[in-house]
């Protein structure tokens, strides 16, 4: 009963051990969806997690808005660089704040998270998606930084050549200020995000670890230098150009310039150089840009404008551009410095990209997930897609299933070992896997849960961490009519989960077993065949049909034939309510309050049989309570199931708390005195039969 909640409790406990009230917001969100109910999850945790979630959403919106603003501003300011304009759409990609913090989660921290053994495939999927989006975002940011760096250089140059093209200069300044604002806000969001994570205990700062969360755009990134340049550039602007935005630049420097930021670059900024546009350069190199080789696609010339960082001089034709280039951007200290700055920027970005690619690869390797990053790294990976279940593993031992990422016993690949090659052996020597964090019936998986990881389970041959009952319920609820035939359920499983595309006999049998075993699944028959519906209320109760109950198969052929070959009986019953006329009013009420919304599609004005069955069952349960008080000593062996039998709805032994005796109200209809059911369990206490 508390089995699965134990897993959740464990995750919370792990988080608490880290000194916070919750886990990763991702984890927390997932667990929130999964784990309401049993009250073991402190309400405060849920509240905190939701708060974090809201914060995340807000941050995400802000980030999106920022990018949108940037695009609009650049459009309004009439950017002369078509290339840059071409880049703009990429910036519209939704950006998660978490994605902006590529270094937020170090490999050690990731490992730490994983070792907490609370990651579910859903959560892993989210992480992977984030990481993939991160890569994309990083590339965009790199482009953006690069462009802005060029603009920065232009600005520096223009300061030197004062009075030159003041209008364009102003536009560029506006642009830069916008970017500066973005930088600031991005970093603020990052810090906010980091603090949130830290509060939740996801980020545990090791004693010897630097204050990572306080490092904006952490290691390797160039923003520190960029911000310094921004500051210097904007400080040179006149007051009317920087009203309001200047505060940002100040904030930026105070907030983001961190001396503790790992500066792996050899770039040395001369604090005084900016005043005269000079940067101290020690080893100038690579200034040859081979401009003339491709005159029509010169990276520094486009749309009649020189695209040298910070220049944007109008050149009517390519020849004039070359002339301008040679005159204004000749080989001198200034140009060399600009090149060097740009080079450092690019190098840092490349380094950062390489690091994150490596991290992504390690994560994917660890999680045994097929990489979606094309050739992210040259490191070979044998991921799930290349893993074929060995016959011995998949057939000889049904327990030797590919472990799910949520499996506590799953071996965590130490990231420090570097990308590992996941072999078939390693995939299947992990022992039995039984973790389903939605095992608890009162913790139904939501559509979002599965939808969120739809692609993951479709492609990764990973066993979904849901019980069969949960999945069956989900399949049924996803259907338009909230009802499925057995074969449709099969199809749903194979369609939604790669895992269920093999060993069909096993899981199909399990599905059938679950359909029969769980009270929540209601089989309804009509002239077209039979289909299954789900009683969600019953599902949440999580009750099984008791073992040892009389088999549904009735040796009494008269009875069976009566119901089996008379599907119309169901319809008749639906219309006439022959068996429950005395309960009609109460039945209506029961239907109204008993999970009817689940069947809204079919229950409009004409309740489905599933509804009817559910309602009848509930009504019978209720009726039992009444009859119990009067007929507690009724003749044993008259199962209420027999009463429900005519509608071919799975007979439900009544719960002990709801029913202690037979239901005489309806058993009289079709019950023969010598019904074999009596004999089947005549030795069993009635109550046991009834649960």
Contact 358, 366 (CB under 8 A): no
> Which residue lies nearer to DNA by CB, 164 or 434?
434
CB of 545 to DNA, least distance (A): 6
CB of 137 to DNA, least distance (A): 36
Q: Are strands 305-306 and 301-302 parallel, antiparallel or unpaired?
A: antiparallel
Contact 222, 290 (CB under 8 A): no
> Which residue lies nearer to DNA by CB, 144 or 531?
531
Q: Report how far apart the first and last C-alpha atoms of the chain are (Å, whole number).
A: 17
Q: Could you write out the DSSP letters of every residue in 338-375? A: HHHHHHHHHHHHHHHHHHHHHHHHHHHHHHT----STT
CA distance 691 to 641: 12
H or E stretch covering 305: strand 305-306
Burial (0-12, 13-18, 19+ Cβ within 10 Å), 437 = buried
> Which residue lies nearer to DNA by CB, 1 or 592?
1
CA distance 72 to 62: 15
CB of 64 to DNA, least distance (A): 39
H or E stretch covering 129: helix 121-160
For 491, other C-beta atoms within 10 Å of its C-beta total: 13
CB of 148 to DNA, least distance (A): 50
CB of 470 to DNA, least distance (A): 8
Q: Residue 214 has which token pair?
A: 């306080």
- Interface residue list for DNA (CB under 7 A): 1-3, 6-7, 9-10, 395, 398-399, 401, 408-409, 431-432, 434-436, 439-441, 466-469, 485-487, 490, 503, 505-510, 512-517, 523, 530, 532, 542, 544-545, 547-553, 555, 557, 560-561, 564-565, 650
CB of 548 to DNA, least distance (A): 5
Helix 223-236 to helix 121-160 angle (10° resolution) is 40
> Which residue lies nearer to DNA by CB, 516 or 581?
516
- DSSP type of residue 309: T
Contact 416, 388 (CB under 8 A): no
Q: Residue 180 has which token pair?
A: 């500066």
CB of 396 to DNA, least distance (A): 8
Q: For 555, what's the count of Cα atoms within 13 Å in the CB-facing half-sphere? A: 8
Q: Which runs of consecutive H residues, i.e. helices, occur in 542-632?
A: 557-564, 567-576, 584-593, 609-630
CA distance 312 to 634: 97
Residues with Cβ within 8 Å of 288's Cβ and at least 6 positions away in sequence, in order, are none
> Which residue lies nearer to DNA by CB, 124 or 134?
124
CB of 550 to DNA, least distance (A): 6
> Which residue lies nearer to DNA by CB, 329 or 523?
523
CB of 260 to DNA, least distance (A): 41
Three-state DSSP at 529 gives strand
CA distance 468 to 431: 20
CB of 496 to DNA, least distance (A): 15
> Which residue lies nearer to DNA by CB, 548 or 656?
548
> Which residue lies nearer to DNA by CB, 168 or 461?
461
CB of 116 to DNA, least distance (A): 14
Choose among 512, 505, 488, 406: nearest CA to 449: 406
Cα-to-chain-centroid distance, residue 578: 49
Q: Residue 85 has which token pair?
A: 């304009």
Three-state DSSP at 423 gives coil
> Which residue lies nearer to DNA by CB, 10 or 161?
10
CB of 504 to DNA, least distance (A): 9
> Which residue lies nearer to DNA by CB, 324 or 482?
482
The H helix count followed by the E strand count for the chain is 28, 4
CB of 531 to DNA, least distance (A): 7
């Amino acid at each position: 009963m508390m089995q699965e909640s134990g897993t959740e409790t464990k995750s919370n406990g792990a988080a608490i051990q880290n000194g916070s009230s919750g886990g990763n917001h991702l984890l927390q969100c997932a667990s929130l969806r999964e784990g309401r109910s049993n009250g073991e999850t402190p309400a405060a945790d849920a509240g905190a997690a939701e708060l974090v979630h809201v914060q995340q959403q807000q941050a995400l919106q802000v980030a999106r808005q920022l990018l949108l603003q940037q695009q609009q501003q650049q459009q309004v300011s009439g950017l002369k660089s078509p290339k840059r304009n071409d880049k703009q759409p990429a910036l519209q990609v939704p950006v998660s704040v978490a994605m902006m913090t590529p270094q937020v989660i170090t490999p050690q921290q990731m490992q730490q998270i994983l070792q907490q053994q609370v990651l579910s495939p859903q959560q892993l999927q989210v992480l992977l998606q984030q990481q993939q989006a991160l890569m994309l975002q990083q590339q965009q940011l790199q482009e953006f930084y690069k462009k802005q760096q060029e603009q920065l250089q232009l600005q520096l140059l223009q300061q030197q050549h004062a009075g030159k093209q003041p209008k364009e200069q102003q536009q560029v300044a506006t642009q830069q200020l916008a970017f500066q604002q973005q930088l600031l806000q991005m970093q603020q969001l990052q810090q906010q995000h980091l603090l949130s994570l830290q509060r939740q205990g996801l980020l545990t700062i090791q004693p010897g670890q630097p204050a990572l969360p306080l490092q904006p755009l952490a290691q390797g990134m160039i923003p520190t230098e960029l911000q310094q340049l921004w500051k210097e550039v904007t400080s040179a602007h006149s007051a009317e150009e920087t009203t309001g935005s200047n505060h940002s630049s100040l904030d930026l420097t105070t907030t983001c310039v961190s001396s503790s930021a790992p500066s792996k670059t050899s770039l040395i900024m001369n604090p005084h150089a900016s005043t005269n546009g000079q940067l101290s350069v020690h080893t100038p190199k690579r200034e040859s840009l081979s401009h003339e080789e491709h005159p029509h696609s010169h990276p520094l010339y486009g749309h009649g404008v020189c695209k040298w960082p910070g220049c944007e001089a109008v050149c009517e034709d390519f020849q004039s551009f070359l002339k301008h280039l040679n005159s204004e951007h000749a080989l001198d200290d200034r140009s060399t410095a600009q090149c060097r700055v740009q080079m450092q920027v690019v190098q840092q970005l490349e380094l950062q990209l390489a690091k994150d690619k490596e991290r992504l690869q390690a994560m994917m390797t660890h999680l045994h997930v097929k990489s979606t990053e094309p050739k992210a790294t040259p490191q070979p990976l044998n991921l799930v897609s290349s893993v074929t279940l060995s016959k011995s593993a998949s057939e000889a031992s049904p327990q030797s299933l590919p472990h799910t990422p949520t499996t506590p016993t799953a071996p965590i690949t130490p990231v420090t070992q570097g990308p590992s090659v996941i072999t078939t052996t390693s995939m299947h020597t992990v022992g039995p896997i039984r973790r389903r964090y939605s095992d608890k019936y009162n913790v139904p998986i939501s559509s979002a849960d599965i939808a969120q990881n739809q692609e993951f389970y479709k492609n990764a041959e990973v066993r979904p961490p849901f019980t069969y009952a949960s999945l069956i319920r989900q399949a049924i609820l996803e259907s338009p009519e909230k009802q499925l035939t057995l074969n449709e359920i099969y199809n749903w499983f194979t369609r939604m989960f790669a895992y269920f595309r093999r060993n069909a006999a096993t899981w199909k049998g399990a599905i059938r077993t679950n359909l029969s075993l769980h009270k929540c699944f209601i089989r309804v028959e009509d002239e077209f065949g039979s289909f299954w519906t789900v009683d969600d209320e019953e599902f949440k109760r999580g009750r099984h049909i008791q073992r040892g109950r009389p088999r549904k198969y009735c040796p009494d052929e008269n009875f069976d034939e009566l119901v089996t070959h008379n599907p119309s009986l169901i319809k008749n019953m639906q219309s006439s309510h022959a068996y429950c006329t005395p309960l009609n009013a109460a039945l209506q009420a029961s239907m109204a309050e008993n999970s009817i919304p689940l069947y809204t599609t079919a229950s409009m004005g004409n309740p489905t049989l599933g509804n009817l069955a559910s309602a009848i069952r509930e009504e019978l349960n209720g009726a039992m309570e009444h009859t119990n008080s009067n007929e507690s000593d009724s003749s044993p062996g008259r199962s209420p199931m027999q009463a429900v039998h005519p509608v071919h709805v799975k007979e439900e032994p009544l719960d002990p708390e709801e029913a202690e005796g037979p239901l005489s109200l309806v058993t009289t209809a079709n019950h023969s005195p010598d019904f074999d059911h009596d004999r089947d369990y005549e030795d069993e206490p009635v109550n046991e039969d009834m649960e």
